[in-house]
């Protein structure tokens, strides 16, 4: 029994060996590598078995427009020229990755003297790009109880940025219910779009707001901007309106009176005006006369 099994095993092994000797087989240490922009990255293509001594090695970049050559006839070509080298036997080393290198790459090896003479392997490369400073919009002044929308946006980051908002340097939680400090606030926060939306602002929502765009490659923030919440003071407004109405009424009444007087007795009034000082003069004259009398009398007494 044991001997038969051993024989079987040996047969299997030898068959396997025989097949692998006559086939080209590729493998990779990482089929979905990533790097940050302007860093280096290795697209590993390892030859696990081959019997042909001088195989043909090619790399193609596969984008939506179809495949294009990256390595052909022992030369790097296309956009990667001067930015990539081949490390034996078939690994592609990009020395300074750019955002446009994000794509699928196919390593193809043709071994003419192997029974299975062709193998290929696809590597999915992601070049991550740091976000730039986002554009933020914070309303300067919002009436109490009204809605307010704060927005934050940047387009460079890859993968796409997620957004965080901060109020007075403290991060605003996704859900106000999870924090005692923001418990009564009426906002909703969308980390994907960067929108912080208040349904009805409270006095406590006033403060300095800034937003951070972040992804795996890094983050960037806009400078803080102040949002003020002001009261629509109903009593104040009613009083203000009343004061204005009263002032208008007074002015109107004044103008009316002036008109009436001016219309009915403009000449009589001037006559009166002349008479008044005349009367006064008379009184003064009488007084001085009286005084004279008095003086006269007093001097008489002295
Ligand atoms: C990589 O490329 C960028 C832009 O082409 C360049 O500014 C940078 O200096 C390069 N970095 C290295 C290490 O060569
Ligand atoms: C939230 O509102 C409740 C009820 O109006 C009040 O008792 C509580 O103090 C408020 N909390 C904060 C943090 O403003």
* Model pLDDT for residues 163-189, shown as the tens digit of each residue: 999 999 999 999 999 999 899 999 999
Question: What's the pLDDT band for 264 if we cut at 50, 70, 90?
Answer: low
Burial-class residue 22 by CB neighbours within 10 Å (0-12, 13-18, 19+). Answer: middle
**Ligand 1, residues at Cβ distance < 6 Å:** 38, 96
From the CA of 129, how far away is ligand 1's center (Å)?
14
Report the predicted TM-score, pTM, of the whole model to 2 decimal places.
Answer: 0.66
Q: Evaluate whether 234 touches 147 at the Cβ level (below 8 Å).
A: no
**Where are the domains positioned within the chain?**
21-128, 139-230
For 112-165, the pLDDT digits (tens) are 999 999 999 999 999 999 999 999 999 999 999 999 999 999 999 999 999 999
What is the average pLDDT across 102-109? 96
Look at residues 225, 132, 146, 149 and name the one whose alpha carbon lies nearest to residue 193: 149
Pocket probe for ligand 2: among 184, 185, 202, the residue whose CB has the most ligand atoms within 8 Å is 184
Q: Is 184 in the pocket of ligand 2 (CB under 6 A)?
A: yes
From the CA of 38, how far away is ligand 1's center (Å)?
6
Confirm whether 21-128 and 139-230 share one CATH topology. yes
3-state secondary structure 187-256: EEEECCCCEEEECCCCHHHCEEEEEEEEECCEEEECCCEEEEEECCCHHHHHHHHHHHHHHHHHHHHHHH
- In CATH terms, the fold of domain 139-230 is Immunoglobulin-like (2.60.40)
Pocket probe for ligand 2: among 183, 200, 229, the residue whose CB has the most ligand atoms within 8 Å is 183
Write out the two tokens for 204: 């406590």
- The CATH class given to the 21-128 domain equals mainly beta
Question: What's the pLDDT band for 200 if we cut at 50, 70, 90?
Answer: very high
What is the average pLDDT across 13-17? 49
Q: Which of 37-41, 119-123, 250-254, 282-286 has the lowest mean pLDDT?
A: 282-286
- Percentage of residues in the chain with pLDDT exceeding 90? 64
Task: Please give the radius of gyration of the chain, using alpha carbons only, rounded to the nearest integer.
Answer: 47
Q: Which of 77-81, 150-154, 156-160, 274-278 has the lowest mean pLDDT?
A: 274-278
H-helix or E-strand spanning residue 3: helix 2-21
Name the closest ligand to CA 39.
Answer: 1
d(CA 31, CA 125): 8
Asked whether residue 35 carries a pLDDT value surpassing 50, the answer given is yes
For 230, phi then psi, to 5°, come to: -115, 155
d(CA 190, CA 151): 10
């Amino acid at each position: 029994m044991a001997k038969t099994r051993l024989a079987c095993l040996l047969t299997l092994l030898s068959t396997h060996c025989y097949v692998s000797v006559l086939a080209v087989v590729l493998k990779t240490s990482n089929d979905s590598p990533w790097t940050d922009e302007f860093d280096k990255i290795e697209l590993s293509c390892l030859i696990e078995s081959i019997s042909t001594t001088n195989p043909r090695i090619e790399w193609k970049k596969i984008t939506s427009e179809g495949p294009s050559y990256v390595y052909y006839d022992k030369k790097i070509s296309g956009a990667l020229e001067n930015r990539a080298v081949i490390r034996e036997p078939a690994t592609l080393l990009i020395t300074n990755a750019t955002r446009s290198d994000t794509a699928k790459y196919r390593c193809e090896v043709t071994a003419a003297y192997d029974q299975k003479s062709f193998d290929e392997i696809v590597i999915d490369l992601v070049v991550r790009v740091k976000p730039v400073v986002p554009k933020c919009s914070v309303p300067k002044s919002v009436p109490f109880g009204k809605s307010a929308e704060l927005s934050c946006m940047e387009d460079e980051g890859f993968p796409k940025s997620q957004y965080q908002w901060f109020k007075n340097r403290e991060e605003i939680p996704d859900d106000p219910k999870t924090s005692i400090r923001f418990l009564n606030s009426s906002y909703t926060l969308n980390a994907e779009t960067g929108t912080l939306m208040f349904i009805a602002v409270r006095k406590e929502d006033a403060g300095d707001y800034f937003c951070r765009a972040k992804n795996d490659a890094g983050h960037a923030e806009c400078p803080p901007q102040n949002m003020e919440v002001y009261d629509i003071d109903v009593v104040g407004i009613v009083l203000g309106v009343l004061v204005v109405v009263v002032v208008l009424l007074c002015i109107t009444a004044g103008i009316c009176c002036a008109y009436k007087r001016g219309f009915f007795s403009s000449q009589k009034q001037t006559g009166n005006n002349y008479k008044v000082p005349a009367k006064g003069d008379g009184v003064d004259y009488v007084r001085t006369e009286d005084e004279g009398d008095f003086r006269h009398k007093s001097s008489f007494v002295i």
